Chain A
Amino acid sequence: MQKILLSQKEIHIILHRLACQLIENHSDFKDTVLIGLQPRGVFFAKKLIDILVKDYKVKSLKYGQLDITFYRDDFRRRDEPIQANETKIDFIIENKNVVLIDDVLFSGRSIRAALTALQAFGRPKKIELLVFIDRRFSRSLPIQPTYKGRQVDAINSEKVKVIWDENNKKDTVYLVNTKEK
């Protein structure tokens, strides 16, 4: 069984709010780089960048995508191995403000891996975390988002599913109960 948590309209409002929060803190983005986490954070990051560039006329935005497969702490512990995705960061993050972008923050382990992975690209001045959904009570590590779209309190058997639509028409967030059939 699944129920709709956020509709297209609500998502649209949240995306604009997040974009404004970023502009408040980073104004012209001169020393800021945005990095989307593979695979799902990349879709979300692209939406956000689209809004920043088209609606808020932010120029010279630096954007990269980071894959954390080789930095995960569950290598050799999973039944089904994870396949890597493309990392594309063609700039150095030395002394930059980095905004990591992911869609759902759950245990915090991916973010831990991402923080390690980022070290390979330089020593940033500051790293912030922007997530669309923050599942508040499921953290395994002391990691908290700097910006969050929506906070969701769900039990462990429930899954938050985010569907990103390329045409900005059918973006939806569902709450799925994995126990029921």
Chain B
Amino acid sequence: MKQLSVQHLLGIKYLKKEDITLIFETANHFKEVINRPIKKVPSLRDITIANLFFENSTRTKLSFELAEKRLSADVINFSASQSSVKKGETLIDTVNNILAMKVDIVVMRHSDVGAGVFLSKHVNAKIINAGDGAHEHPTQALLDTYSIKEKLGTVSNKKVVIIGDILHSRVALSNIYALQLLGAEVMVCGPLSLIPKHIKSLGVQVETNIKKALEWCDVANVLRVQNERMDASYFPSTREYTQLFGINLELLNSINKDIVIMHPGPINRGVEITSDVADSDKSIILNQVENGVAIRMAIIYLLAQQIKK
């Protein structure tokens, strides 16, 4: 396969396994590119990309912007906090105004679930979902699975546990879809109040004992507790959460196997993971960040390929 089967990247849900394989292969080449003395290729010279972040982001926005610049695209940035959205403009109006400036690709993060899908039906540009509410975050899932493949050689038949706040996490859902598509077994682990009710219907296991979960898995993807999304109290205290679900070196040493530790960032050091684990050789957290640029370059390149002259 040489082309993506989709016109936009709205979620992992819409992708086929072959799409992910193509993205990974293309990302391999871009990873080589970003390790050259000059880390830039001229492919997207005549493409303009708008990064629309209606919700805060540091890492994803930087990673997208860097990927776009490495491909030589022209980039415009937009944050909701400085925009006319505050003055009451609708999403379609905002985006159409930006598209009137001849933009080819829109990267969007929005707090509403399905914002990307909605936009793809109403505006004439390629849409890349950089996170929609607690729904999907496809590029994060792709860079996570890519990093697992890089570390372990394959994703197929590996056991991956996603630990923490599954309820408010878009990373969790996209990861579940991507991991299952690539043939991995998935478990979620956290306080029951932070695990969606019907998650088992996705074919994932649920575990509330962190030690058992770690003993079961090959890879542990640790998520942040998203306090900003919580409208109620989901656990008694941060201290209790850390005691029951926090990962520390002592806990890791007590299980009798080597596992890979991942975290999509930002890390709350000392809450869901301690510094000695985050900075240990078991952790591939910084590899994830590096791979994020290569994966995003691959996605943008493959989508831009569909925009005919």
> Which residues of A are at the interface with B, using a C-beta cutoff of 8 A?
67, 69-71, 75-77, 80-88, 92, 116, 119-122
Q: Which residue of A lies closest to B42 (CB)?
A: A71
* Main DSSP-derived SS at the B contact region: loop
Partner of B37, one of A84, A85, A92: A92
Contacts of B307 in A (CB 8 A): 76
> With A and B bound together, what is the CA distance between A88 and B28 in angstroms?
12
Interface pair B29/A71, CB less than 8 Å apart: no
5 tightest CB-CB pairs across the interface, nearest first?
Answer: A70-B41, A120-B38, A84-B29, A70-B43, A120-B36
Q: Judge if B121 is at the interface, Cβ distance under 8 Å.
A: no
Partner of B38, one of A67, A76, A85, A119: A119
> With A and B bound together, what is the CA distance between A81 and B33 in angstroms?
19
Interface pair B308/A76, CB less than 8 Å apart: yes
> With A and B bound together, what is the CA distance between A82 and B25 in angstroms?
13
Partner of A67, one of B29, B37, B43, B304: B29
What 1/0 mask marks residues of chain B from 1 to 40 whose CB sits below 8 Å from any chain A CB? 0110000000000000000000001101100110011111
Interface pair A120/B29, CB less than 8 Å apart: no
> With A and B bound together, what is the CA distance between A134 and B232 in angstroms?
74
> With A and B bound together, what is the CA distance between A87 and B31 in angstroms?
11
Q: Which residue of B lies closest to A94 (CB)?
A: B37
Partner of B309, one of A76, A85, A86: A76
Contacts of B305 in A (CB 8 A): 75-76, 81
Q: Which residue of B lies closest to A119 (CB)?
A: B38
> Which residues of B are at the interface with A, using a C-beta cutoff of 8 A?
2-3, 25-26, 28-29, 32-33, 36-43, 301, 304-305, 307-309
> With A and B bound together, what is the CA distance between A116 and B301 in angstroms?
19
Q: Which residue of B lies closest to A87 (CB)?
A: B32
Contacts of B38 in A (CB 8 A): 119-121
Q: Which residue of A lies closest to B39 (CB)?
A: A120
Interface pair A116/B42, CB less than 8 Å apart: yes
Chain A nearest CB from B229 CB (Å) reads 39
Q: Which residue of A lies closest to B304 (CB)?
A: A76
Contacts of A71 in B (CB 8 A): 41-43
Partner of A70, one of B28, B33, B308: B33
The answer to whether A81 and B3 touch (CB under 8 A), given A71-B41, A92-B37, A120-B38, is yes
Chain A nearest CB from B240 CB (Å) reads 50
> With A and B bound together, what is the CA distance between A92 and B36 in angstroms?
9
Partner of A86, one of B29, B40, B41: B29
Q: Which residue of A lies closest to B1 (CB)?
A: A83
Contacts of B26 in A (CB 8 A): 84
Contacts of B43 in A (CB 8 A): 70-71, 75
Contacts of A69 in B (CB 8 A): 29
> With A and B bound together, what is the CA distance between A121 and B309 in angstroms?
30
Chain B nearest CB from A114 CB (Å) reads 13
The answer to whether A87 and B37 touch (CB under 8 A), given A75-B43, A75-B305, A80-B2, is no
> With A and B bound together, what is the CA distance between A80 and B26 in angstroms?
16
> With A and B bound together, what is the CA distance between A119 and B41 in angstroms?
10
> With A and B bound together, what is the CA distance between A85 and B28 in angstroms?
10
Contacts of A84 in B (CB 8 A): 25-26, 29
Q: Which residue of B lies closest to A117 (CB)?
A: B41
Further contacts, 6 of them, CB under 8 A, given A70-B29, A81-B3: A67-B29, A70-B43, A84-B25, A84-B26, A86-B28, A120-B38
Q: Which residue of B lies closest to A83 (CB)?
A: B2
A-B CB contact pairs (8 Å), 19 listed: A69-B29, A70-B33, A71-B42, A71-B43, A75-B305, A76-B304, A76-B305, A77-B308, A81-B2, A84-B25, A84-B26, A84-B29, A86-B32, A87-B32, A119-B38, A120-B37, A120-B40, A121-B38, A122-B37
Q: Which residue of A lies closest to B45 (CB)?
A: A75
Q: Which residue of B lies closest to A80 (CB)?
A: B2
Contacts of A119 in B (CB 8 A): 38
Chain B nearest CB from A38 CB (Å) reads 10
Contacts of B40 in A (CB 8 A): 120
Contacts of A83 in B (CB 8 A): 2, 25
